[in-house]
Chains A and B, each alone.
Chain A
C-alpha cells in the first residue's frame, strides 16, 4: 500500500477530508493503541469519529486506489451519519443505516453481530447499490472471524456472478476458498464447493483485465496452494506454487524502484521455498539489503532462505544482522528461525537458550504486543528440544 497506493498522486485531492495518522504497530509506543483498536491483520485502516473516538469504518487488507476512495467515501458518510445527518431521501437509506451500524460493530470487533448487520444491509439494498462489493467483502471477513465458514462459502458463491469482474473478485474467491477448505467432511457439498471456488480463483488469476492489487492476486495463489495441499495433491500444489513464483517475479520485474521491488520479497521467499528453490531468493535479498541497509527484513529473510538451504552458518550471520536492526514483536519470529539454525548445527544448548530468551522477551511485552499464542508456540518448540 505504501509503495503503490499512498504514493498515487490522484489521492492528493482527499488530503483535506481527513486528518491522516500512520502507526507502526511494531513500535512499543503504539502497543496500547494497537490493543485498543483490535487490529486483526495488517494493513488495517480505520476511520474514527473524533468526537467519541468510535471506529466508524474499518478495512483490513490491501486496496487499490479506487477501493481506497470508496472506503474514504463510506467512512466519511458513516461519521456524518453518526452525527445525525444521514440522507433519508436516498433510495438506499435503509441499507445505508444498517450498513453504518454494522460497520460500527465490525470496527469494535463484534463480528457475529456485524455479520447480521451486513446481511440486513444487503437485504435492504437497492439493485445497483454501489456499496455491494465492499459490504460483501466485510461480511465475508466477519463470517470467517465468527466461525461461520459454511455461510462464508455460500455468500462467496452467491456473490460471484455480480463481483467476478470487479476489484472484489480476488477477495470473494479467496475468502470463499479458504472457508471451504476449513469445512468439515460432514458437509456433503464440501468437495463440489471447493472445486467451484478453486475455479473462481483460477478465473481471476487468468484475467489480467480485473483491476486488482498485487497482494490480492498473490493471496489468491496462497489460497489455491492451501486448497491443493488440503486435498493432498502434491503435483497440483507444486504447479500452483510455480505459477505463484512466476507471477511474483513478473511483478517485481515491473517495479519502478527498489521500494516497489522489495514489496514482493517476502512472498517470493515463500514461493521459492515452496518450489524447492530457496537459493533463488539469495541474490534478490542481497540486493535488497544493499538498497536498504537499515532495514531488518532482507537479512531476516536471508536467514529463512539459508535455513531452507541448510546453510546454517550463513543463516546465523544473516540473523545477527537482522537482530541488530529489529524492534518490536518481529524479533520473536527471528529468534525462532535462529533456534532452528542452531539446531541445524546440532548446537542444542544454543538453540534452547535462544528459545528461552525469546520466551522471556515475549513474556515481558506490553499488552498489544504480548501474544499468548506466540508464547505457547515458543514453549512447545522448546519442549520439543528436551
Chain B
C-alpha cells in the first residue's frame, strides 16, 4: 500500500501515484476479469452468490 499523499508538482506531472500500468498487451492476467462492465459483474456476483472484487486502475 502506498503512494497516496499529494506528490510534489514535478512528480505529479511526470509520475503517477503508483508505478504505472501499461494498457498495451502484456502477459495474460490469471484471474477472469470482466472489463469495464459493472452491471454485468454485479449481476454475475448476485447469481453466483460471490463477493465482487473490483480493481480500479488507469493506463498512466
A residues with CB within 8 A of B: 1-3, 6-9, 11-12, 14-27, 29-30, 33-34, 37, 39-51, 53, 56, 59-63, 67, 72, 75-76, 79, 137-138, 141, 144, 168, 170-171, 174-175, 178, 214-216, 218-220, 222, 226, 229, 257-260, 262-267, 269-270, 273-274, 291-292, 294-297, 300-301, 304, 328, 330, 333, 336-337
Contacts and interface: CB of A to CB of B under 8 A. Distances in A.
B56 A301 contact: no
A358 to B, nearest CB: 14
Nearest to A373: B6
A19 B45 contact: yes
Interface string B3-16: 11101101101111
B52 A297 contact: no
Contacts of B49: 50
Given A3-B21, A43-B57, A62 B52 contact: no
B16 A42 contact: yes
Interface in B2-60: 2-5, 7-8, 10-11, 13-38, 41-42, 44-46, 48-60
A18 B51 contact: yes
Contacts of B10: 270, 273-274
26 contacts: A2-B21, A7-B27, A7-B28, A11-B30, A18-B51, A20-B31, A22-B54, A23-B54, A24-B23, A24-B57, A25-B56, A46-B54, A48-B53, A62-B3, A75-B53, A137-B1, A138-B1, A141-B4, A170-B2, A171-B1, A258-B22, A259-B27, A266-B19, A269-B15, A270-B10, A297-B59
A7 B29 contact: yes
Contacts of B5: 144, 178
A68 to B, nearest CB: 10
A19 B31 CA distance: 9
Contact of A263 (B13, B21, B42, B54): B21
A2 B20 CA distance: 9
A9 B33 CA distance: 14
Looking at chain A's contact residues, the main secondary structure is: helix
A62 B19 contact: yes
A270 B11 contact: yes
A48 B19 contact: no
Contacts of B19: 62, 214-215, 218, 263-264, 266-267
A11 to B, nearest CB: 5
Nearest to B55: A22
B2 A48 contact: no
B46 A50 contact: yes
Given A41-B18, A222-B11, A22 B34 contact: yes
Contacts of A41: 3-4, 17-18
A303 B31 CA distance: 35
B36 A29 contact: yes
A18 B50 contact: yes
Given A41-B3, A42-B56, A20 B36 contact: no
- Please give me the 4 A-B residue pairs with the lowest Cβ-Cβ distance, nearest first: A259-B26, A61-B1, A292-B24, A50-B45
A16 B46 CA distance: 14
B52 A42 contact: no
Given A23-B57, A26-B58, A9 B2 contact: no
A299 to B, nearest CB: 12
Contacts of B13: 304, 333, 336-337
B26 A42 contact: no
Given A21-B41, A26-B59, A48 B18 contact: no
B22 to A, nearest CB: 5
B4 A259 contact: no
A327 B57 CA distance: 14
A259 B54 CA distance: 22
Nearest to B48: A19
A79 B23 CA distance: 31
Given A9-B30, A43-B56, A333-B13, A79 B22 contact: no
Contacts of B51: 17-19, 47-50, 56, 75-76, 79
A51 to B, nearest CB: 7
B18 A171 contact: no
